[in-house]
Amino acid sequence: MDNIKSRVVVVYFILLALLSWTSLLLQDNESKGALTVLNIILFVTPLMSLLYTVTYLYDSHDFQVLLLSQPIRRKQIWQSLYTGVSSSLLIAFLIGSGIPMLLYTDWTTGLILILMGCVNTLIFVSIAFLTTMLTSDKTKGTGVAILIWLLLTMIYDAILLYALFLLSEWPIETPLLTLLMLNPLDLTRFQVILQMDVSAMMGYGGAAFKEFLGATGGILVSSILLLLWIILPYLLSLRIFKKKDL
């Protein structure tokens, strides 16, 4: 309830609603509107999930210490914090972007966009939880969160494209697939665009991924990897939290 009533979450909901409704209503083509919403999922959702979660965890440090003085298991506290933060961000996303996507896009496209938005939210909340456990200082933790966002949204793809340009004469499909799997945002993009069947927008990496694994295999492998991106950072943060002296 504390997270849902937060002004930041309310502003996040309003921002998502404005961007989603205007993107879908102003575009004369459904696919263009869906791709615009995809960019919102790939850029706005990760940034908000990281910064809000990191800020909330650092600001609630004294509350966590108070809880730890009670006969409550650390695992239960950490699970509750994760559920509270992630559910509030998911509610804001589902109401702000989910409703217009269901109303103004094909149901299949709308559902996959909503699913990937929820997955991205959970992934970056998990990464934020791990970040706060690895860095005790709020300023450093916030800086690391922004750096992670820049790395996964911009820097990573720029490095990948530069490597493709330099090694264009070599058979690099297998290394490319491996690099593609390391970025959850690339996996999200692949899932959505493959479902929409917009081959021109898949890029070299997505096209190679589809050709190598096939449509069904590609979706299955990327789904497993996205699930690991949610689970592994959270479990690592939980392990550190159990042993850390706050």
Per-residue pLDDT of the chain (246 residues; tens, 9 = 90+): 888 888 999 999 999 999 888 888 877 677 777 778 888 888 999 999 999 999 999 999 999 999 989 998 999 999 999 999 999 999 999 999 999 888 888 888 888 889 999 999 999 999 999 999 999 889 999 999 999 999 998 888 888 778 777 776 776 666 777 777 788 988 888 777 777 655 544 555 555 666 655 566 767 888 889 999 999 999 999 999 998 887
Task: Please report whether residue 1 resides in a domain.
Answer: no
Please give the Cα distance from 4 to 85 (Å, whole number). 9
For residue 171, with 0-12 CB atoms within 10 Å meaning exposed, 13-18 middle and 19 or more buried, which class applies?
A: exposed
Task: Please report whether residue 226 resides in a domain.
Answer: yes
CA torsion angle 126 34 176 130 (round to 10):
-10
| Residue 68, both tokens | 């730890």
Please give the Cα distance from 178 to 183 (Å, whole number). 10
Task: Please report whether residue 115 resides in a domain.
Answer: yes
- The pLDDT, as a whole number, for residue 200 is 47
Please give the Cα distance from 183 to 50 (Å, whole number). 16
Task: Please report whether residue 162 resides in a domain.
Answer: yes
Task: Please report whether residue 156 resides in a domain.
Answer: yes
Task: Please report whether residue 197 resides in a domain.
Answer: yes
How many domains, the chain? 1
Task: Please report whether residue 2 resides in a domain.
Answer: no
Task: Please report whether residue 38 resides in a domain.
Answer: yes
SS3 at position 28 = coil
- The pLDDT, as a whole number, for residue 38 is 84
Buried b (16+ CB within 10 A) or exposed e, 55-78: bbbbebeeeeeebeeeeeebeebb
- The pLDDT, as a whole number, for residue 9 is 93
Please give the Cα distance from 115 to 85 (Å, whole number). 18
Please give the Cα distance from 15 to 105 (Å, whole number). 19
Q: Residue 175 sits in which domain range?
A: 7-243
